[in-house]
Amino acid sequence: MQLQRLLSYTRKAVDEYEMIQEGDHIAVGISGGKDSLTLLHALHGLKRFYPKKFELSAVTVDLGFENFDLSPVQQLCDNMEIPYRIVPSDIYEILFHIRKESNPCSLCAKMRKGALNQAVKEMGCNKVAYAHHKDDIIETMLLSLIFEGRFHSFSPRTYLDRMDLTVIRPLMFVSEMEVIGFKNKYNLPVIKSPCPVDGYTKRQYAKELVKQLNTEHPGARERMFHAILSGNISGWPAPVLRNRTGEKAPA
């Protein structure tokens, strides 16, 4: 995927769900994976021409794995002139050595987000961008249906009132295959996850299920995404329709 196409998808998400306002300071949550590095490129590129001016920073919560070298991410941020902060933590030690969790993903996500959001506030940011893409949104919907019995998924924009912080997901219209294509084309410095349960999670199960459904019923993935966008999910903001000049279309 070309950078221009990535920026087009990002602009569409940002405009339709009003993710960015004048004067925002946005922190990009960086894991070192392909998704978050693609998001960093997307917002860095958007910043150059978007009519609403905003600041950009990057932050990584270091979970405490050994041999997890973040220097390639630091170099990328330096090249882009984006301030980058690494937040040390004992999350790995707590989950795998102290608590010895057999299913650590949910607790890990909560602890990681808590540390990330706290760091983002300390950096003076009012928004944090997560790198969830289209496939993440679809897989989350399936997980919610199967394990929670409700039709739900990530919201494009969420206000966290306790933190006075807004979460945005600018990659919501980008598929995982397009992210992979972008990573390969631009040689992103991806850092492989050292987590021992990586690839053995419920999310991996949902990913394989979506792939199977789309193989057996071509177009199922897109139809599921359309159902999410039009499903009036609780907590989702209504999309803003715009005309060709970018102005809001009359209701």
Average pLDDT, the chain: 91
Q: pLDDT tens digit string along 139-168?
A: 999 999 999 999 999 999 999 998 999 999
Q: pLDDT tens digit string along 181-215?
A: 999 999 999 998 777 776 567 888 999 999 999 99
Q: pLDDT tens digit string along 207-242?
A: 999 999 999 999 999 999 999 999 999 889 999 876
> Rounded to whole angstroms, how far apart are CA atoms 50 and 56?
13
Domain parsing of the chain, residue ranges: 3-229
pLDDT for 94 beyond 60: yes
For domain 3-229, the CATH class is: alpha beta
Contact 73, 191 (CB under 8 A): yes
Helix (H) or strand (E) holding 136: helix 134-148
Question: Which residue shows structure tokens 């860095």?
Answer: 44
Contact 46, 39 (CB under 8 A): no
Q: pLDDT tens digit string along 106-126?
A: 788 888 888 999 999 999 999
